[in-house]
Amino acid sequence: MGKAKISDKIYYVYRILAILLFVLIFLPAVNPARISGMINRSISLLTSGFSYGSLVDNFGRAFRKEWVLESTMRLDNISSLFVCLGIFACAVGACLSIGNNKCRRLGNILSTAGSVVSFIALQGIYVAYTQISLTEKPSKVDPTFPPFYYGMLILLIIMLVVSVYELIISFKEPKEKKFYMETKYRLFLMMMPFILLTFVFSYLPLFGWRYAFFDYKSGDVLSMENFVGFKWFTQLVRNAATRSDMIRVMKNTLGMSFLGIFTSWMPMVFAIFLSEIKNSRFRRFVQTFTTIPNFISWVLVFAIAFSIFSTDGFISSLMMNLGIWDQGKNFLMSGDYIWIKMLLWGLWKGLGWSAIIYIAGISGIDQQLYEAATVDGAGRFQRMWHVTVPGLMPTFYVLLLMSIAGILSNGMDQYLVFENSTNTTDIMVLDLYVYKMGIVNGAIPFSTAVGMLKSVVSVVLLFTANHVSKLVRGETIV
């Protein structure tokens, strides 16, 4: 019994190690494959292993001058790949460790093999570093011993020891005929890929917030020499020009967001009326026809708008052929009512897609409520108002709260493609402003500071709206 408890505790260490190793392959700061200063600081071990082009992006001249052999970088690339594959095997083994003994045994085999593969591949990285450090022109290629090399080596050794120990224990336990895992764990593993994607694309990028505290320019190195603290945050209010820009941008952002919130009921109404269509073929046609625009990129949407509303577009050609206009008019080169125009384009593109969740909600309403309403003499519209609408209100409130939380996030693509010299003042929303400042103008720290403040405000709005919902409705979403 004592050994079983010790084994269970070691499994916790085993899983934590697997998670830690898995996370480390995504972090550029601890990339053990960065054996030269010419390797981009922003690439991770995963990128080093799966993208040879990214690894040797700056080595063109070094290869031509033979300061570095291409075989050395190939070795670094392949070694990185096998380190990643070994860590993936350890991660799969950790997932199997929550099953029965047969699952654990297979998981231990995978993690043992993965640890060995990663350990050997890590030595390949060391050999590649040794080769590059023996170059005749070290100042040209800047050989750099990876700072976290020994850290990852120690983690892999611990992982190997733990895996072998658990493997021995699993062979001593009674054999089982089938692989088995409790339902709750199976569901958790099914959800795991989405959790990982959320981590990689939503939480890992938060590491880039550190740029907001440095006087950074593309290609620079972050150090205490260019650390400026909250300089870029204070510039938002101290600099008159920046303050004026922010006021204008916030006015556009909030204006368009409030228009979106005021029309957020339209997908629900559309879904209700769509569900009332009795002809199933026609209903499916309408639903498909209104959902398709969601899958069209904003570039194609602008192309459609250009073909209709430009100087040589459909409307101008029609009006000139009818003799009403002497020359064509370009409706896109105008800032008049731009908020309304953007709202209408957004509704056209997203109405059908946004209605899907309400259609699913309608299918979940108890049909006995409709039957009871019919017995009581309720007509179609009365059933819609007294049964369908109340049944969809919880869904509507949740989506409304999420819209309030994202009031500063209008997106960028739509406004970027429709922006021109005549409407840029009124169409510049916060996301587009951050893009312009960071990517176009190169003010990366300033745009990062603005993005950070936007995220903080969004979180505060979410919890505020959630608290108000609790006070008003007695229900919360978080």
Residue 121 has pLDDT above 90, yes or no: yes
Extract long-range pairs of 148-155: CB within 8 Å, 24+ residues apart: 148/24, 148/29, 148/30, 148/31, 148/32, 149/32, 149/122, 149/125, 151/30, 152/21, 152/24, 152/30, 152/32, 152/83, 152/122, 153/119, 153/122, 155/17, 155/20, 155/21, 155/24
Is position 256 within any domain?
yes
CA–CA gap between residue 476 and residue 364 (Å, rounded):
21
**Is residue 230 located within the same domain as residue 104?**
no
Is position 450 within any domain?
yes
**Is residue 158 located within the same domain as residue 247?**
no
CB-CB contact of 87 with 21 (8 Å): yes
Residue 323 has pLDDT above 90, yes or no: no
The one-letter code for the residue type at 437 is M
pTM: 0.75
> Cα 68 to the chain's mean position, in Å?
37
CB-CB contact of 259 with 343 (8 Å): yes
> What does residue 336 show for φ and ψ, rounded to 5 degrees?
-70, 130
Q: What pLDDT, on the 0 to 100 scale, is given for residue 86?
A: 95
Average pLDDT in the 53-59 region? 88
The closest alpha carbon to 74, from 100, 97, 56, belongs to 56
CB-CB contact of 162 with 10 (8 Å): yes
Is position 86 within any domain?
yes
Taking residue 453's Cβ as centre, other Cβ atoms within 10 Å add up to 16
Q: What pLDDT, on the 0 to 100 scale, is given for residue 219?
A: 67
Residue 1 has pLDDT above 50, yes or no: no
pLDDT in tens, 358-377: 998 998 888 888 889 888 88
Q: What pLDDT, on the 0 to 100 scale, is given for residue 205?
A: 81
Residue 2 has pLDDT above 50, yes or no: no
> What does residue 286 show for φ and ψ, rounded to 5 degrees?
-65, -45
Q: For residue 340, what pLDDT band results from cuts at 50, 70 and 90?
A: very high
Of the segments 143-152, 182-191, 264-273, 433-442, which one has the largest average pLDDT value? Answer: 264-273
Residue 115 has pLDDT above 90, yes or no: yes
**Is residue 170 located within the same domain as residue 79?**
yes
Is position 398 within any domain?
yes
Q: What pLDDT, on the 0 to 100 scale, is given for residue 8?
A: 65
Average pLDDT in the 97-109 region? 86
Boundary (domain end) residue, out of 126, 152, 181: 181
**Is residue 423 located within the same domain as residue 283?**
yes
Q: What percent of the chain has pLDDT over 90?
A: 30
Is position 77 within any domain?
yes
Whichever domain contains 323, its CATH number is 1.10.3720.10
**Is residue 244 located within the same domain as residue 174?**
no
Boundary (domain end) residue, out of 181, 215, 242: 181
Per the structure, the count of domains in the chain is 2
- Domain residue limits at 234: 224-473
Residue 474 has pLDDT above 80, yes or no: no
The closest alpha carbon to 75, from 29, 137, 121, 143, belongs to 121
DSSP 381-392: HHHIIIIIHHHH
Where does residue 144 fall: left (phi above 0), alpha (psi -120 to 50 degrees), or beta otherwise?
beta
Q: What is the token pair recorded at 476? A: 């919360």
Q: What is the token pair recorded at 370? A: 């409709």
Residue 411 has pLDDT above 60, yes or no: yes
Boundary (domain end) residue, out of 181, 201, 232: 181
Of 135 and 31, more confident: 31
- Residue with token string 């991660």: 91
Q: Is the dihedral of CA 433, 439, 445, 448 positive or negative?
A: positive
Is position 199 within any domain?
no
**Is residue 252 located within the same domain as residue 350?**
yes
> Cα 356 to the chain's mean position, in Å?
22
Residue 246 has pLDDT above 80, yes or no: yes
Is position 117 within any domain?
yes
Average pLDDT in the 81-98 region? 92
Q: For residue 7, what pLDDT band results from cuts at 50, 70 and 90?
A: low
Helical packing angle, 101-133 and 149-172, nearest 10°: 160
Where does residue 66 fall: left (phi above 0), alpha (psi -120 to 50 degrees), or beta otherwise?
left
**Is residue 176 located within the same domain as residue 228?**
no
Radius of gyration from C-alpha coordinates of the chain: 29
Average pLDDT in the 333-361 region? 90
Average pLDDT in the 52-69 region? 87
Residue 274 has pLDDT above 70, yes or no: yes
> What does residue 36 show for φ and ψ, rounded to 5 degrees?
-145, 145
Average pLDDT in the 279-284 region? 89
Q: For residue 355, what pLDDT band results from cuts at 50, 70 and 90?
A: very high
Is position 352 within any domain?
yes
**Is residue 265 located within the same domain as residue 143?**
no
**Is residue 170 located within the same domain as residue 247?**
no
Q: What pLDDT, on the 0 to 100 scale, is given for residue 344?
A: 92
* SS3 category, 227: strand
Q: What pLDDT, on the 0 to 100 scale, is given for residue 49?
A: 92
Q: Give every CB contact of residue 248 below 8 A, 6+ residues apart in sequence.
A: 425, 428
**Is residue 127 located within the same domain as residue 252?**
no
**Is residue 339 located within the same domain as residue 283?**
yes
DSSP 287-327: HHHHHGGGGS-HHHHHHHHHHHHSTTSHHHHHHHHTTS-SS
**Is residue 294 located within the same domain as residue 160?**
no
Mean pLDDT over each residue of the chain, to the nearest integer: 87
